[in-house]
Amino acid sequence: MLLLLVAAQDIKAQGVGYRRKHLEYYDDKPIHYGILFAVPFTRFNIKHNSDFLAKDSAFVIQSPTQASFRMGFTVNAFLTEHFDLRTTPSVSLYERQVKFSYPNGTDKVEKRESTWIEVPLLLKYKSLRRVNSRMYMVAGVTLGIETNVKRSRGNSSRLDTKSTDFSIDYGVGYEQFFEFFKFAPELRFSHGLTNMFQPSKNSIGSGINKLSTHTVTLYLNFE
């Protein structure tokens, strides 16, 4: 009787904390597809030129951070136990601003409302799976192309920017496996390498030497 009681307690103890492993053979498939929704927080990094103090009437030029929207799909290719090759082609709706502040107390805001197609190429490092969860990191590059380009004409005072961008990306994410899908929130940082400033005949932006994009994005990935 004593042996039966001990065996029963041992079986009960082994059952404590048991969790069902969802999508157990998920990593056996070479390619996975999914969709994504994201909220980018974006701005321009501004570098002034030598004319900023001598010729530009604005005493402060800055770019406030703006929230935007992005949606797209995911293609993830298995490489090894810890590495995947990943791309997340997407469409982004941006509103980037450049704010000029003048000594008389007035401000002028130049808005760049634009739609971009962005295609990243990322290397993904993933940790060992712990039942239904694991962490991962991504790093790579992204090519961006603006689709609704509008240029200044004649003596327009509008600030122009280029219609292509190339950036370095890196980020961290968390994967949670459910019965029928995998959910992965991710935080990704993007630093533009392209000088987005497009010189024009008007005086707006005469103190600007370089505009480069900087974006922090919260992703919600479903695969």
Residue 218 domain flag: yes
Q: In this predicted structure, what is the pLDDT of residue 160?
A: 84
Per the structure, the complete domain to which residue 122 belongs is given by: 28-148+158-222
Q: What pTM was estimated for this model as a whole?
A: 0.85
* Nearest Cα to Cα of residue 204 among 58, 105, 53, 46: 58
10/30 Cα distance (integer angstroms): 40
Q: In this predicted structure, what is the pLDDT of residue 65?
A: 95
Domain count of the chain? 1
Residue 205 domain flag: yes
183/178 Cα distance (integer angstroms): 8
Q: Average pLDDT of each block of 10 consecutive residues along the chain (223 residues)?
A: 45 58 91 97 90 69 94 96 96 92 84 93 96 97 88 62 95 96 97 90 76 97 96
217/65 Cα distance (integer angstroms): 12
Q: In this predicted structure, what is the pLDDT of residue 54?
A: 64
Q: In this predicted structure, what is the pLDDT of residue 133?
A: 95
Residue 82 domain flag: yes
CATH number at residue 81: 2.40.160.20
Largest CA-CA distance found in the chain, in angstroms, rounded: 98
106/94 Cα distance (integer angstroms): 25
Element (DSSP H or E) covering residue 13: helix 2-15
Parallel/antiparallel/unpaired status of strands 83-87 and 69-78: antiparallel
